[in-house]
Amino acid sequence: MDLIADRGRRVTVEELNTTKLLAHAAKQVKDRKFDDVLIVDTDAHHYENENFAEILPYMENEVLKQLALSSRAKGGRGNVMPSGFGYQDMGGRVTRYPLRASEKTDDKRQRDAQLGDRWMNAMGVDYSCLFPTGMLNVGLHPQKEMEFELCWAYARWVTEKALPDTNGRMYTMLCLPFSDPEGSLRMVETFGDRKGVGGFMITSVREKMSVSDNAYMKVYRAIEERGLAIAFHSGPNWGSNTFQSCNRFLSAHALGFSWFNILHCTNWVVNGMGERFPKLPVLWIEAGLAWIPFLMQRLDHEYMLRPSECPVLKKKPSDYMRDMFYTSQPMEIQDMEALETTFRMINAETQLLYASDYPHWDFDLPSTIWDLPFLTDKARHNILGGTAHKLFKLPPRNEAQKQNLVKYGNYVGG
Amino acid sequence: MAEQFVGKASEFKDGERQIIRIGEDEIGVFRHAGAFYAYSNFCLHQGGPACEGLTIARVIEPLREDKTSMGLHFHESDMNFVCPWHGYEYDMKTGEHVADRRIKLRKYDVVQKGDEVYVLA
Amino acid sequence: MSSPKGAKAAASKSPVSKSPASKSPASKAKAAPRAAAKPAPAAKKAAARKAPSRAKAGDGDPTPAQKAAFLKALAGGVKPNSAALRKLEEKKGGAFAPSPPAPQRKVEVLRRIPAPAPRLETPETKDALRIAALIESGLARGELDKVQPHAQQALAAALCRLYAANHEMGERYPILTAQGAPVTATDVMVMCGALLKAVDLQVFELGMWQSWSSG
Ligand code: FES
């Protein structure tokens, strides 16, 4: 296939075959004997818009459903999902974007499940937490009714159609219609006990959201009671007022992912949510790691001067932050000492979860964790899968994995 | 170090490339603007297939005397090849990462004998 | 059996083959922190290359186990750094470890990624080019009414659909040649405006559609 490079020049590249594209990852799996290590990828994606034809019919409200369906009909011009600006594909340099449609699958199983098998096998990943892509912007939808309908339809489709096709290799944390606290609660009550649901996710890309509003306490309580986790999945929003002065996608992307999690994490911590829901595991996803030491220092500093503003807290903000979980990708491996300090500050050995973010452009392989020179074996195993095994009760897939879980004190059965 | 036969120059068109394996090594052999270049196909970032992605001209942003920007442009001749995994861009002529020249793919010499192309590996 | 010279070379290599790959991870990190996540260090590969698989021993040769036992017994009474030990080292190579001829490593072509295909001149292409030339020459003569509006509509519609269908299939190419057909920016704006108007689209809708997918 030809891709367009500079000045309309055409460049031939092979059509996409994920297994071939990731052949070097498979070599890493072999060299490092990853088959013996339970590896859980806590953040992977698919392009749910490719499945809208199947998803949208699950919408409940007939009028909104008709609006959404007709927008997709030929000649229709509606736009159901808010979308952002950006060049994730780097002008085709990251070839799996433009070539995506060229990859062949059969019609025996869900296409996303087949693609999932290919990249999980190549990377040595045993389980993936599947998240949507475009839907990460659902919090920008001006209609909370539509936000609910889309989240609801997706939740039904993913738990009834997509996940059952993955032979148990994929699970999910379902996207909550957070603008609608009642709707969010209904989602937790309806889907919380379904197979493959490890928890619920709030899309961080929201311009106005108060995670500490009283209206949400029943939602958090319902998740905590079920022994599930809650996650904040970040993203960029170049169109937001904050980032309008960024003239390069790089700037809006680098800042945006960190920013939206910094924002909500601050509100979460300062309002003592960790004190209120001590058993609720909280995950911060896809913001990298560099922001965490920054925020810990910043919040501790202010807290010491203004404790009267957060009387619910019984310890420093950074202590609450150390109780929470962070996914590793996109890990800033630039200054090894800084990274080591970050790992120490967040108690990475028990709080860090490996994530690939595949197939997005800045995905990380398991070797990014495995090859870190300062990690103990226990930390390696915990971060790659041991901690996630405990959180999400994912059974080891072979005896060697089980032995390793036992060896490092992570095994909780399955 | 031995000469490894890659193919016939006459069958190796400009703009074409071959990914070859010699033992444990994978090497990308490019023919660009008449010349042959060969580099390790293992990207220095996370080990991706560095030589199998897009080739694209280097992007430049010329500044005027008064330091104002003339905007983004493609360079007239400098060509990069891009690792398809995450976009590391390597200079076609040197194998150096364009953002940090210290990051450099292993370069293999290519010799042409008559119509035959060899890589020294 | 190889010549004694070759045997010596092999002997001097094998006993001290301290692999450069055994460098501690920590020292690797100090030396190149930026590249710490990089897999399969080149050193390892180099080491692998240095140890070509030995040629199979001939029928009459002792088995590897016999060789090992013999050498062990011999080495038992030899002092380090002695002439006797050096002799022994020589022997290890000479009598028992014939080195194969310099290996001719196999070159395997994994992929051949061709240069972009040259232009194909199908009959349909030729016809379409003829019509384009016809229109251009009419334009050059200032004859604007030779191709009547209904024919222009048919051409615009067909081309629009053909281009979009190719685009949909992942066949992406510029709609105008790089050298730029003699089309001006104004021409483009007029034509695009007319196309948008024809399907009742606003410019902002085009913008929204173009930024449809993120991720
Ligand atoms: S592996 Fe090549 S850019 Fe990441």
Q: What is the residue-wise DSSP string for C45-112?
A: HHHHHHSPPPPPPPTTSPPHHHHHHHHHHHHHT--TTSHHHHHHHHHIIIII-PPPSS--PPEEEEEE
Query: What value does the mean pLDDT of chain B take?
Result: 95
pLDDT for res C6: 40
pLDDT for res C18: 40
Q: Does the distance separating the beta carbons of A134 and C170 come in below 8 Å?
A: no
Choose, out of B55, B60, B76, the residue to mutate when testing the contact with A (most A CBs < 10 Å): B55
Q: Does the distance separating the beta carbons of A11 and C215 come in below 8 Å?
A: no
pLDDT for res A115: 96
Dihedral-angle region of residue A167 (phi above 0 means left; psi in -120 to 50 means alpha; beta otherwise):
left
The residue among A96, A156, A47 whose CA lies nearest residue C212 is A47
Residue A403 has pLDDT above 80, yes or no: yes
pLDDT for res C207: 76
Residue C209 has pLDDT above 80, yes or no: no
User: What CA–CA distance (Å, rounded) separates A249 from A259?
Assistant: 15
Contact A10, C119 (CB under 8 A): no
Q: What is the DSSP string of A242-302?
A: GGTT--SHHHHHHHHHHHHHHHHHHHHHHTTHHHH-TT--EEEESS-STHHHHHHHHHHHH
Q: Does B88 contact ligand 1 (Cβ within 6 A)?
A: yes
The residue among A129, A151, A169, A173 whose CA lies nearest residue A356 is A129
C-chain residue closest to A361, CA distance = C215
Q: Does the distance separating the beta carbons of C215 and A47 come in below 8 Å?
A: yes
Residue C40 has pLDDT above 70, yes or no: no
Q: Which atom number of ligand 1 is nearest to the Cα of residue B86?
A: 3
pLDDT for res A78: 75
Least confident among A120-124, B23-27, B82-86, C30-34 = C30-34
User: What CA–CA distance (Å, rounded) separates A381 from A337?
Assistant: 21
Contacts made by residues A113-116, CB under 8 angstroms, sequence distance 24+:
A113/A162, A113/A165, A113/A166, A113/A167, A113/A170, A115/A18, A115/A46, A115/A359, A116/A44, A116/A46, A116/A166, A116/A169, A116/A170
Quote the percentage of chain A above a pLDDT of 90: 88
Q: Where are the domains of chain A?
A: 37-81+112-407
CA of A250 to the centre of ligand 1 (A): 17
Q: What is the CA radius of gyration of chain C?
A: 37
pLDDT for res C15: 40
CB neighbours of A335 closer than 8 A, spacing ≥ 6?
Answer: C33
B-chain residue closest to A370, CA distance = B46
Q: What is the pLDDT confidence band of residue C102, given thresholds at 50, 70 and 90?
A: low
B65 to chain C nearest CA, in Å?
29
- Run of H or E including B105: none
Residue C30 has pLDDT above 50, yes or no: no
The tens digit of pLDDT for each residue in A299-334 reads 999 999 999 999 999 999 999 999 999 999 999 999
Q: What is the pLDDT confidence band of residue A175, given thresholds at 50, 70 and 90?
A: very high
Q: What is the pLDDT confidence band of residue A273, given thresholds at 50, 70 and 90?
A: very high
CB neighbours of A102 closer than 8 A, spacing ≥ 6?
Answer: A1, A15, A16, C170
Query: What value does the mean pLDDT of chain A take?
Result: 95
The residue among B82, B107, B103 whose CA lies nearest residue B93 is B107
Domain A37-81+112-407 has CATH 3.90.1640.30: no
Residue C49 at interface with chain B, using a CB cutoff of 8 Å: yes
pLDDT for res C101: 53
The tens digit of pLDDT for each residue in B37-73 reads 999 999 999 999 999 999 999 999 999 999 999 999 9
pLDDT for res C67: 66
pLDDT for res C186: 87
User: What CA–CA distance (Å, rounded) separates A176 from A183?
Assistant: 8
C25 to chain A nearest CA, in Å?
5
- Run of H or E including C210: helix C203-210
Q: Does B50 contact ligand 1 (Cβ within 6 A)?
A: yes
Q: What is the DSSP letter of B63?
A: B
Residue C144 at interface with chain B, using a CB cutoff of 8 Å: no
Residue C36 has pLDDT above 50, yes or no: no
The tens digit of pLDDT for each residue in C116-146 reads 766 677 888 899 989 988 998 888 898 988 8
Contact C26, A373 (CB under 8 A): yes
| Probe residue for ligand 1, chosen from B26, B85, B89, B97 as the CB with the greatest number of ligand atoms within 8 Å | B85
Residue A215 has pLDDT above 50, yes or no: yes
Residue B21 pairs with which residues in a beta bridge? B26, C108
Q: Does B48 contact ligand 1 (Cβ within 6 A)?
A: yes
Residue C45 at interface with chain B, using a CB cutoff of 8 Å: yes
Q: What is the DSSP letter of A189?
A: H
Contacts of B15 in chain A (CB under 8 A): 11-12
What's the whole-number mean pLDDT along residues A372-400?
98
- CA torsion sign, C115 to C120 to C125 to C127? positive
> Is C188 or A254 the better-scoring residue by pLDDT?
A254
User: What CA–CA distance (Å, rounded) separates A241 from A151?
Assistant: 26
| Closest CB from B48, B74, B89 relative to A7 | B74
Q: Where are the domains of chain B?
A: 3-120
Q: What is the pLDDT confidence band of residue C46, given thresholds at 50, 70 and 90?
A: very low
| Closest CB from A14, A335, A367 relative to C37 | A367
The residue among C17, C9, C14 whose CA lies nearest residue C101 is C9
What's the whole-number mean pLDDT along residues A382-399?
97
What's the whole-number mean pLDDT along residues C176-195?
80
The tens digit of pLDDT for each residue in A42-79 reads 999 999 999 999 999 999 999 999 999 988 876 667 78
What's the whole-number mean pLDDT along residues A335-345?
98
Enumerate chain C positions whose Cβ falls within 8 A of a Cβ in A.
25-26, 28-29, 33-34, 36-40, 111, 113-117, 169-174, 177-178, 199, 201, 205, 208-209, 211-215
pLDDT for res B102: 96
Q: Does the distance separating the beta carbons of A368 and B57 come in below 8 Å?
A: no
Residue C54 has pLDDT above 70, yes or no: no
Q: Does the distance separating the beta carbons of A334 and C211 come in below 8 Å?
A: no
What's the whole-number mean pLDDT along residues A340-345?
98
User: What CA–CA distance (Å, rounded) separates B116 from B7?
Assistant: 6
| Closest CB from A6, A13, A367 relative to B53 | A13
Quote the percentage of chain A above a pLDDT of 70: 99
- B3-120 — its CATH code? 2.102.10.10
CB neighbours of A209 closer than 8 A, spacing ≥ 6?
Answer: A139, A178, A179, A202, A264
Q: Does B32 contact ligand 1 (Cβ within 6 A)?
A: no
User: What CA–CA distance (Å, rounded) separates A383 from A371?
Assistant: 12
